[in-house]
Chain A
């Protein structure tokens, strides 16, 4: 079973920030938080991952709470192309990420 809890769906206005929450209250000290997204009819796409510090890349920012029991993925300026299912995944995969445990994710709808 997935170790994370996400809202099933969210809406966001185009051009606004999209903030996607994820609860992972049973996360272990050496487990990372990963985010992937899946646009309709495509395979999942890696977005970002982090351990305890906040992370930012060209796609998004990841904010992890100090107790590491929850996190938020931020898309700073959502576009229609960001409409997708977003998966929050927790694990410690060492040198291999083969066995990712996906939940049902959050379906983000970006509206004009």
Chain B
């Protein structure tokens, strides 16, 4: 049973460019959450998708957008990249129907903006 998978593992972009990161949730999970982790900091919640809609959103600008597909996989898009967007981007999946269900995280995509 594959866990949460993310692609690519590493990415280098330049300022102003756009990037798309991808996530496949753990089998049986229907909810995907995205986090940004800057160096030396804990992960920060970006948003969560369920039934192909954004369900919750953290304090991130509109440059950060997402999508969830019918197979529950998800994409994170970041437009007009800034140097400060350099971070590890983590995807986590869960089963919304389970109370206090634990989150399963992928290993992340390391994004470097030059």
Contact = CB atoms under 8 A, between A and B. Distances in A.
B64 to A, nearest CB: 15
Contacts of A93: 100
Contact of A95 (B4, B44, B56, B99): B99
Q: Binding site of A, secondary structure by majority: helix, strand, loop or mixed?
A: loop
Contact of B94 (A32, A44, A97, A103): A97
Q: Binding site of B, secondary structure by majority: helix, strand, loop or mixed?
A: loop
B96 interface: yes
B48 A99 contact: yes
Given A93-B100, A99-B33, A87 B48 contact: no
B80 to A, nearest CB: 25
A58 B87 CA distance: 32
Given A95-B96, A98-B31, A99-B56, A2 B105 contact: no
Given A96-B48, A102-B42, A43 B33 contact: no
Contacts of A41: 107
Most A CB within 10 A of own CB, among B55, B99, B100, B104: B100
A101 interface: yes
Interface string B25-54: 000000101000000111111001010000
Contacts, number: 74
Given A43-B90, A43-B107, A95 B45 contact: no
Interface string B4-41: 10000000000000000000000000010100000011
Interface of B: 4, 31, 33, 40-45, 48, 50, 55-56, 58, 90-92, 94, 96-108
Interface of A: 2, 32, 36, 41-46, 49, 87, 93-105
17 contacts: A32-B100, A43-B4, A43-B107, A44-B103, A94-B99, A94-B100, A95-B98, A95-B99, A96-B94, A97-B101, A98-B45, A98-B48, A98-B55, A98-B92, A98-B103, A100-B45, A100-B103
